Amino acid sequence: MRNIVLCLTMVLFISACETSTDPFIGFGGSGGLAQTDAAGNWSFTLHPSITPACANGSLADGQLLTMQLDVLSDGTVAPATSSWQNPPTSSIRPINAGSSVTLSSGFTDLFLGGSAGSGTEMELRGTMNSAGSFSGTVSDPNPGKFPVFGACSYSATGVKTS
């Protein structure tokens, strides 16, 4: 009986320490994302900050940004096969090099280019989770770049659509 209790106690302690994305003997992990959780189509809703006031040309409250993310096994976002749009426009815009998703934690840092080689860029930062949601911010412009729309900071929520 003592060995059974000891064995069950050890399984309980091991499962309590589980932080990977893969479950251990039926206990769910909570420490990050699988590559397939981050890759795919995403929709983000933006809400501008109240202070400081946003510049003319900024995105409207409730504006959607859609993204197609090609996330590699190391969390790097492949710029050649990833893109974003701001509907209803049909312009497909680049996600610039250096963008990544830290799979172990869900931390997301995406550099949204205005157009290839233009020097305009926004930054989307926050956290993705394995349930397919995102919470974070968008800064236009990304520090050291020019604004894509108009200087503004936004709160952003997102959902994976496919």
103-151 pLDDT, tens per residue?
999 999 999 999 877 899 999 999 999 999 999 999 999 999 999 999 9
**Residue 23 has what pLDDT?**
47
Q: In angstroms, rounded to a whole number, what is the distance separating the alpha carbons of residues 63 and 157?
A: 11
Here the CATH number for the domain that contains residue 141 is 2.40.128.120
- In the predicted model, is pLDDT for residue 93 greater than 60? yes
- What total number of domains does the chain contain? 1
For residue 125, give both structure tokens.
């930062």
Inside any domain, residue 13: no
Q: What is the pTM of this model?
A: 0.80
pLDDT bracket for residue 4 (50, 70, 90): low
Does residue 134 belong to any structural domain of this protein? yes
Helices (H), the chain: 2-16, 35-38
Residue 19 lies in a domain: no
Specify if 48 maps to a domain: yes
Is 14 inside a domain boundary? no
pLDDT of residue 3: 59
